Chain A
Amino acid sequence: MAFGPYLLLATLEGLVTAAVLALMALGLSLVFGVMRVVNVAHGEFYMLGAVLAWWVASFFGGHPALGFLAALVLSPIMVATIAFLAERLVLRRLNYEPEATIVATIGLLYIIQQLALTFYGPDARPVQAPFDMRIALPWFGYSGYKLAVIAASILLILVAWILLTRTRLGLIMRATQYDRETAQTFAIPIDRVHAGVFALGAGLAALAAVLIVPIQQAHYLMGHDPLLLSFIVVIIGGLGSLRGTVVAALLIGLSDGIISMFFSPTLAKMLATLLVALVLVFRPQGLFGVAAR
């Protein structure tokens, strides 16, 4: 095969990665922006989303779309509930002190991973895609479901953007992010906003996982790489900036897809990680962020 088909395939695969990554990184970015909490357990919420999706889908016989749609609704809600409880029971009591919350979320990471291993097991299991269709492209047929994932992600990000910029709820979140004390004096219930944002962030990770699980099977260690990648995305995009997050997800997803297609995936990850560490060292506000006030 010539260079062209490879490049197209790599671009498409990269776009799928970017679509999922953008959703997940958006959750991480929201939690960091509003709460100033670096959630190391974010990858485990993603994993939990995939595992619960398999669990929910396994109850439904008949058409695979039925199980998938049920998982798409129920799995993020369950994960958000778990995150909500973790926030109330642990993070709130630590007063969101940055270093303490990192240690606590590392603890949470281990607990969730172990519980998944104990109850779900070490096997990778798939969820059937809601529909099976191949779309003919110039050189090869491509999975219609993967294209649907890209479309769904774009739709969800638009919804998130409208939620953040056009609604009262978004205003409250942005106010909390901008200045916690002043927001509080304007009777914004900071405490409840934090719990809600943490649950929302985890729910977004779970949603991303449900979308990816028909392509990539659910496995108890699957949260590790996406966590690192979404950290990279959030840092490059600038912490707490929605536009930056989307652009960076596109950049990282595409370059990951293309570099892994032509070079070794390990090398791709190595270079991307090193690059981001250096961005953080020399331009801590991110490539698209504004300097901290």
Chain B
Amino acid sequence: MMAGAKSFWLHVAVVLVLFALNFLLPEYHRGVFSRAMVLAVFAMGYNLAFGYTGLLSLGHAMFFAAGLYGAGLPIYHLEWSAWPALGTALLAGAALALAVGFLALRTAGVAFMIVTLMFAQVFYLATLYFGAYTRGEEGLVLPQAARALPLLGWNLVLTDPPTRYMIALTLLASVLAITFLLVRSPYGRSLIAIRENEERMRMLGYNVFANKLGAVVVSGVICATAGAAYGLLFGYIGSGFASIQYSILPLLWVLLGGAATTLGPIIGTLFMFYAVDLASSYTSAYMLVVGLALILLILFFPKGIVGTIRERWLPWLP
């Protein structure tokens, strides 16, 4: 129980620090943090499948993009407001994750990676093929008027930077709470056990397939939420977000921060954002930074930042 309380207060402290930063950070860095926090939610969703359940997917961009388009297309074409659009985004993410998980989970290991990669590629090509609605790579800019969340009598304007930061933080805190509770629950334990020894879990009478499918769906819904929030907060949806690059990035962030740690994705995303930011002030070759980071990480730090801290000093980190 001690360890549980310690990690609970650590998570609360992280959220409080991020809350305080809204008032301390200069304008530019507040923008970077808002963006990084939404993408950290994407990474946290990915972490649930990759880190905790051991499902290395190379196609999570499709869930992010399902949320992005699920929210953005009704807003743009049907002039919906933000709340119902958020609903369609979550539905789109859940339905896609269910279908993809149902098919892809029949395979394992390398085949699972390639199958998810291919489904994501089909999704990406579909966004290009239906260019009449999505305008492909060029993308759509969401109308200013639709980017507002009416809430308890207030109207939160999503183009206002401090509001945007707070909404990104609220989303991050909620998803952090959900993952924190989930991975400590019996269900979360069973996912970790499946990662460690699938055969034994099957022998013990667990329905491995159903558990994994559940993990993919929860992961997909979280990623779709991140996608919808990204579209609403930053007002642009385009095919680029469905491309293979956006499947690789969450993998990079999670690996960097530490797979199967609740705080790892946040640290990894922020770290990478600032690494690229720093690198791009010296050189335009930011892909080189990403590539080198991936290779060096997998060679020397396969457990990531938080993973290494957990291994060396703080074994109670969830």
Contact = CB atoms under 8 A, between A and B. Distances in A.
A278 interface: yes
A281 interface: yes
B161 interface: no
Given A103-B294, A107-B292, A115-B288, 17 more contacts: A93-B299, A94-B299, A98-B109, A98-B110, A102-B58, A103-B251, A103-B255, A106-B294, A110-B287, A111-B287, A114-B285, A114-B287, A231-B118, A267-B129, A270-B122, A270-B126, A277-B103
A264 B295 contact: no
Given A266-B125, A270-B122, A273-B125, A280 B111 contact: yes
B106 A282 contact: yes
Contacts of B103: 277-278, 281
Nearest to A103: B298
Nearest to A235: B114
B53 to A, nearest CB: 13
Nearest to B302: A100
Given A118-B285, A284-B107, A274 B118 contact: yes
A270 B111 CA distance: 19
Interface residues of A, number: 39
Nearest to A274: B122
A106 B248 contact: yes
19 contacts: A100-B298, A102-B110, A102-B113, A104-B298, A108-B295, A111-B287, A111-B292, A118-B284, A228-B121, A231-B114, A270-B126, A273-B125, A274-B119, A274-B122, A280-B107, A280-B111, A280-B118, A281-B106, A281-B107
Task: State the main secondary structure of chain A at its contact with B.
Answer: helix
Interface string A83-96: 00000001001100
A99 interface: yes
Interface string A264-293: 101101100110111011101000000000
Contact of B129 (A111, A114, A118, A266): A266
Interface string A103-127: 1101111111111011000000000
B150 interface: no
Top 7 nearest A-B pairs (CB, nearest first) are: A110-B291, A107-B294, A111-B291, A107-B295, A114-B287, A277-B118, A114-B288
Interface of A: 38, 90, 93-94, 98-100, 102-104, 106-115, 117-118, 228, 231, 235, 264, 266-267, 269-270, 273-274, 276-278, 280-282, 284
A102 B110 CA distance: 9
Contacts of A103: 251, 255, 294, 297-298
A113 B119 CA distance: 24
A114 B122 contact: no
Interface size class of B (residues with CB under 8 A): 35 or more
A108 B294 CA distance: 9
B224 to A, nearest CB: 20
A106 B287 CA distance: 11
A164 B318 CA distance: 51
B67 to A, nearest CB: 21
Contacts of A280: 107, 111, 114-115, 118
B24 to A, nearest CB: 34
A113 B287 contact: yes
Nearest to A32: B110
B293 interface: yes
A99 B125 CA distance: 26
A114 B291 contact: yes
A114 B129 CA distance: 28
